[in-house]
Amino acid sequence: MLGYATFKSHILKRDEKGVFGIPFKRLLGCGLGAGALLTILRTVAPDMSVIISAVCLVGLLVMTTPRGGIARWKHLLYGVRWRLLTAASLAPKSVAGQIARALGVPTEGIDIDADLLFRADDDAPRTHLSDWVSFAQPLAADALAVEATPGLTLREVLP
């Protein structure tokens, strides 16, 4: 171990307590989803409801696993959307292109203007350095005192 540290991916942050590296809020959400499915399946298929709900619980835990900060189900959704976009623009006569056209996926190119997307808001309020009082003891010789604000009177505070 001289000079380097090994990081484990299953270690949770301090505020994320859970079991087996899965945060409690994810366990709770997936458990509630599987419990709701169990309740509904008890009326339709009472013999298989527990097995199907357990499989659903594992499936929900797998699909909500974050990968790069994005849940796995979103990655799959973005992949399907990308395939539909490319099929609609590159092969509009294919089956995927026809499905994309039926769903209303745009076939024209997308232009992204970076100046418009990343421009700074001019409506943000501007503050002056003289609006902030930032010193511990105002009458000390080495203290930072900004005196451009009119009407600001400083008094020594005795400890």
Q: Output the pTM of the full model.
A: 0.52
Question: CA 129 to CA 74: how far, in whole Å?
Answer: 45
Question: What are the C-alpha distances in Å from 18 to residues 23, 30, 65?
Answer: 4, 13, 14
Q: pLDDT tens-digit profile of 118-138?
A: 777 666 566 665 555 555 565
User: What distance in Å separates the CA atoms of residue 131 and residue 108, rounded to the nearest whole number?
Assistant: 51
pLDDT tens across 73-111, in order? Answer: 999 998 988 888 888 888 888 898 889 888 888 777 667
Q: φ and ψ at 67, to 5 degrees?
A: -130, 105
Two structure tokens written together for 40? 């509904």
Q: Which two tokens stand for residue 123?
A: 């409506």
Angstrom distance (rounded) from CA 124 to CA 17: 39
